[in-house]
Chain A
């Protein structure tokens, strides 16, 4: 059995078993969720270990027919980008289980079941190479997240959950139309086959077709990213979601959008992508600055982190549409960074909410006096998030800005403003929450982290440092994959690393 199949179906098995656990023993549900998600993570480590870093193209390929007519394949494979996003998903799921251990007290069984179903959907999205299969996972992941927000969220959870579902649904139905249209033109759902047909000229799309198809895909992805001005669902969903939901949403579901743009939009519709690039870049820059400015004035910690995601994801989109090798590398690296550091921020904010039952910044102050270790962890995460050198975000932001500067110097200038603003809002947040005198409520309600919470947070901090200090562990397969994307997008790229030739690429398919 293929390794990817195992990694994909372990969470699904976990979901089914979790449903069968009796309602009366929540502890069993917790332990089971932790066990199966850890097993999934350990098994998924075999992917980066067994990955051939010298080869471009998808690996761990498994391709069998799922539905005979119209021919739909169960076609999984991981390229350098999907590989890391998959590992990110399996890495964060046990952490989400840990931070939900005590904070989820009612309907525990369903909570962990939905978390595992969500992992199944996310893993599938990042490795599906059949457009139909991709759409299936894309939509599947929507359902558990809808329930996670709607059942276990805060006061306005129902509004947030429905808004989230409808926004995503509205975008994805158009993508479905695009996928069907492509199928009718190409006669297959297999993504590599369609790319091969495009590059060999057996399938040509007129500029008009290409633009409309590009938009049908791009809008679905842009809603998920979310790109300004399609971001309005995000603050609601993030703020109302339970901590684990926020972590999964920010760290992984937003990446479905940027991954989709990178993996599908650029290679499939290179002309239209380039045609739209200036517009999208401008929207991304607006998102960077707007997200940062709104973060600056948020009285609610979770909302602040949520808007900072809009800003961070703007960098990713900008990197992608710079059409430069460094920009694309930075974008992918930034996806992973944001997954780690914003995931950690949401987890830590969740720990504080569990203690103090408030998300308002004004209700805190002086936390550093009573919970020094929590404060330290939060500080490291804050510094990572604002892009301090030797921590992970610095590498990604630097590459993106470099790429943007190559493409258009003005873009880089404006985007850099976002970096400065991120330092403002994050450090100011830190100052207001952790420094000063501890009020009586803070003093009595904020014990420091316990062992379980350490177990959740330390891996994240380790990753922040590792990814910041030695990016070479992660970047080479990414570069291979993005170089191929650029090659498929047929753009002249300065600073290009050694590229596989067109013939090699075709051979690898």
Chain B
């Protein structure tokens, strides 16, 4: 078959965000020896340009929805939603990185290039319609993130984090790949729609066989979204990795992993729903409970937020358990709200931690409300959103998730999940207590004034969080429209 029948301009437009991100990533690598790295923030600026261009690319791709490259990619509302989400996460990671890299004396282009590659991988995950493409996207995203986690190479904790993340991540990917192999063996195809018709068709492979494949993929993806019982790596990696990278890891790769999770299980494996639903049910409850109760005991804020991110993965899994379009939309909305508030919270942690990231304990937040009212106010918005106080995105997301769960008659999961969110209020309140009800600590007194880029990195997600809470309609309508995945 001639090449031209595979590749046409439509396909290229649908692939535009990934192309832009890869080109800019490579460009950054090439520029590194040319540009005087001490003098400028040119890498950061270029990264922002790349990401904004990728946003336009995403819009262009969405103007021509459909499949590309012979059905390997699909550009639909769902893909676009997650592409936009991971690119925005990229922008919000880049903004606080300026100050961070300067403080750590580590301004190189690799950091930014790796970030772009990782986001390119996540965009691919969001739009992949084929198990092999999903695997490739997962690998691009993961490998770049492994390196990012260990980016501060003189830092012991960062090294530990990177190694742990790499080893466990590789295992998880292997599990996922076994699952893909089994599916291919059983059905003879890796295309999601064809897998679906194969397992419902007349010559369907044994349900046990497909079930094992689904379970293996569940293990791999459960790891990526840090769902219980595969959450063990999260606290160590989140604590050890450089803070802006932690912010990124807890938002971008997680959202993209949920995107493929949803796409695989709600399309190809949807006919087996009755089988996998109890597993997700257990995983959702365990993630919420383990995450929240473990977070109660933490004194390191990064570790606390790591456990909280496990708990929030649990909330998204509740939406997943609902097995409905409302559930999918709820998961999408929640991931958007969660990404904003989480990345904002980590930006504050990064700002406060100072050179060498020494100030990360809960006590270091003492008196921040007096020393830096704006920073503290922004963090308060994120924390209230984590708790689920109305008029924040976190509240509306939670509301929508539990609404979907109740529609699917998951009464117990709803009740236990909501009680969990009351438990969670305690540890978020501890940070608020520290910031506003104690005398200023050394860290709060020493914190530098907010730079413009950091202010943007705090204020933009805060506005986003409030907008999602007060006018959720804009995002929600899009999520609702896109939730009915092509089956």
Residues of A whose CB lies within 8 Å of any CB of B are 23, 67-70, 107, 132, 135-137, 139-140, 142-143, 146-147, 150-151, 157-158, 161-162, 165-166, 169-170, 173-174, 176-177, 180-181, 183-184
Contacts and interface: CB of A to CB of B under 8 A. Distances in A.
Nearest to A185: B406
Contacts of B400: 70
Contacts of B419: 170, 173-174
Contact of A135 (B390, B415, B473, B477): B390
Contact of A184 (B403, B477, B480): B403
Contact of A150 (B391, B426, B433, B480): B433
Interface string B246-261: 0000000000000000
Given A143-B389, A166-B422, 8 more contacts: A67-B472, A107-B370, A135-B390, A161-B437, A162-B433, A165-B425, A165-B429, A180-B406
Contact of B429 (A70, A162, A170): A162
A169 B437 contact: no
A184 B373 CA distance: 42
Interface in B459-487: 471-473, 476-477, 480
A151 B436 contact: yes
A155 B328 CA distance: 48
Contact of B402 (A143, A151, A180): A180
Given A140-B389, A151-B437, A177 B422 contact: no
Contact of B473 (A68, A137, A157, A174): A68
B402 A176 contact: yes
Interface of B: 370, 373, 384, 387, 389-391, 395, 399-400, 402-403, 406-407, 411, 414-415, 418-419, 421-422, 425-426, 429, 432-433, 436-437, 471-473, 476-477, 480
Contacts of A139: 389-390, 395
Contact of B406 (A23, A151, A165, A184): A184
B425 A157 contact: no
B389 A157 contact: no
A158 B389 contact: no
18 contacts: A136-B390, A136-B391, A137-B390, A139-B389, A139-B390, A142-B389, A143-B389, A150-B432, A150-B437, A151-B436, A158-B433, A158-B437, A161-B437, A162-B433, A169-B422, A173-B421, A174-B415, A180-B402
A177 B406 contact: yes
Given A150-B433, A173-B419, A69 B426 contact: no
Dominant secondary structure of chain B at its interface with chain A: helix
A107 B436 CA distance: 10
A152 B399 CA distance: 32
Dominant secondary structure of chain A at its interface with chain B: helix
Residue of A150, A169, A184 with most partner-chain B CB within 10 A: A169
A69 B399 contact: no
Given A157-B437, A166-B426, A180 B403 contact: yes
Contact of B436 (A67, A135, A142, A150): A150
Given A142-B389, A151-B437, A177-B415, A69 B425 contact: no
Nearest to B438: A158
A210 B108 CA distance: 63
B437 to A, nearest CB: 5
A193 B153 CA distance: 63
B329 to A, nearest CB: 10
A132 B414 CA distance: 17
Given A143-B384, A184-B407, A176 B433 contact: no
A140 B477 contact: no
A69 B473 contact: yes
Nearest to A67: B473
B425 A169 contact: yes
A344 to B, nearest CB: 29
Contact of A176 (B384, B418, B476, B480): B418
Contacts of B418: 173-174, 176-177
A328 to B, nearest CB: 30
A424 to B, nearest CB: 37
A107 B376 CA distance: 14
A369 B16 CA distance: 86
B399 A180 contact: yes
A152 to B, nearest CB: 10
Nearest to A157: B437
A140 B421 CA distance: 16
Residue of B373, B402, B421, B422 with most partner-chain A CB within 10 A: B422
Nearest to B396: A67
Nearest to A170: B422
Contacts of A150: 432-433, 436-437
Nearest to A106: B370
Nearest to A135: B390
A140 B391 CA distance: 8
Nearest to B370: A107
Contacts of B472: 67
A132 B396 CA distance: 10
Contacts of B402: 176-177, 180
B166 to A, nearest CB: 39
Contacts of A107: 370
Contacts of B476: 67, 69
A69 B480 contact: yes
A35 B429 CA distance: 32
Contacts of B471: 67
Contacts of A180: 399, 402-403, 406, 414
Question: What are the nearest 5 A-B pairs in CB distance?
Answer: A173-B418, A136-B390, A170-B422, A169-B422, A139-B390
B406 to A, nearest CB: 5
A69 B477 contact: yes
Contacts of A174: 415, 418-419
A173 B436 contact: no
Nearest to A139: B390
Contacts of A69: 473, 476-477, 480
Nearest to B408: A184
A136 B384 CA distance: 13
A139 B411 CA distance: 22
A173 to B, nearest CB: 4
A146 B389 CA distance: 13
A183 B407 CA distance: 10
A53 B471 CA distance: 37
B429 A140 contact: no
A150 B384 CA distance: 16
Contacts of A181: 406, 411
A75 B384 CA distance: 25
Contact of A147 (B387, B391, B436, B480): B436
B328 to A, nearest CB: 15
Nearest to B472: A67
